[in-house]
Each structure stands twice: as structure tokens, then as C-alpha cells.
Amino acid sequence: MKLEVTLLREPNERPLPRAMLPPTARVRGRPRREFRPRVRSAEDVERLRRHRVPAFLLTSEWVTRSGYPVHFRPWLAVPEELSTKVSSEYRILPVKDADALRDPGVVELVTLLLRFDPLAARVVAKRNRSRLDPNELYRRVRNEGLERPATKVRLQEFAPAIPVVGEALPREELRWIERNNPALAGAP
């Protein structure tokens, strides 16, 4: 079985630039040419988004604006089906729910952070509690299979329906982390 992902263009849309879609080697006997989207910059990600490809660039600036000052190399979040098809200098974060990448909010940020920095996910959830939908957080954590890291940082405090899987960090340790990472002025 072979998974095939295609990008379809509406008749009134302009095509993506050729530099962004280099053809892959043509397989003998196959009539179609395959292309691999090439993402090198934030502008390339925006160009993909304009063409309704669910891609999102997770940057440290977005996390900092959400109340957790941090610095890391950007991650490119794309649907699982596209994760092996995209050629990028960014690190790839495969996401099961492609619709979540179309208009990401605080819930998506927390879910993406759970993959590589669960403590940052907890701090962002706590500092944005008023904008956090517990039902949506539960749905996203379950869909992505992130119950274990969510339990580790006790996200059940924000979405009680998340099942407990594994051991959680002690509450005192989590309080210490929250106290020693002060919020920025003007952050929510």
C-alpha cells in the first residue's frame, strides 16, 4: 500500500512558484510527475497557507507572545501525510489533525509544545487559561495521542477529561517552574 498525497489547484488560483515545487524523479511507467514542496523561509510557509495547504511555522516569538519567554529553532507543523513529502530546512512536526493547522490558536500551541517541551505547554496553558477551551484541548490531546506528556505536566487541571497515563511531575516542582519563569509585561 502506498500513501499518495496530492495538491489540487482551483481553476481561479495561481500556481505555486516552480522553485517551491521541484519535481521528484519520475518512476518508470508512471504517467504523473510527483513534486515535493520545498520550504526554506517563513514566506514559503505563508505562500503554502495562501494555497490552502495546512502548514504552520511554530516560532519562539509566538510562544513568547503567549506568555512564556523562550527561544528555540522554528518547527514546521504539517499534516502527517505531508511530513515525508515536504523538503525543508526546518524541523518537521507531523500533526494528525490537518484542520487544526488552518487557524491555530492557544489549544494548538499547547498541543504542539507537548511534543517537544511539555513544561512550556503547561505554562502557556496556565497563562492563557481564560482563552483555553477544555473540550477542544481534550480532543486535540486525544487525537494526537499525547496523553502521557499531558499527564506528566498535569494538564488535567485545564481539561479534566484527559485520561491519566503514566506518572505526573510533583506539584511543587511544577509550581517552582511556573514561579521561576515570569510572564512578560503585556502578555495575556
Between 39 and 183, residue with greater pLDDT: 39
pLDDT at 178: 79
Backbone angles phi, psi at 41, to 5 degrees: -145, 170
Mean pLDDT of 33-56: 85
Q: Which amino acid is at 155?
A: L
pLDDT at 125: 93
The DSSP code for 21 is S
Question: If pLDDT is split at 50, 70 and 90, which confidence band does 22 have?
Answer: low
Give Cα separations from 88 to 51, 97, 103, 128, 133 (angstroms): 18, 20, 21, 31, 32
Share of the chain above pLDDT 70, in %: 80
Residues 166 and 153 sit within 8 Å (Cβ to Cβ): no
| Rg from Cα positions in the chain | 19
Q: What would the grid cell of residue 60 be?
A: 519562539
Mean pLDDT of 44-63: 90
Question: If pLDDT is split at 50, 70 and 90, which confidence band does 160 have?
Answer: very high
Closest CA to 121 of 56, 55, 187, 177: 177
pLDDT at 174: 87
Give every strand in the sheet of 91-95, ordered side by side.
56-58, 75-79, 91-95
pLDDT tens track for 69-116: 888 999 999 999 888 888 888 999 999 988 888 889 999 999 999 999
Mean pLDDT of 31-53: 82
pLDDT at 84: 86
Pairing of strands 56-58, 75-79: antiparallel
pLDDT at 187 exceeding the cut of 70: no
pLDDT tens track for 114-155: 999 999 999 999 999 999 999 999 999 999 999 999 999 999
Mean pLDDT of 42-63: 90
- Write down the number of H helices and E strands in the chain: 8, 5
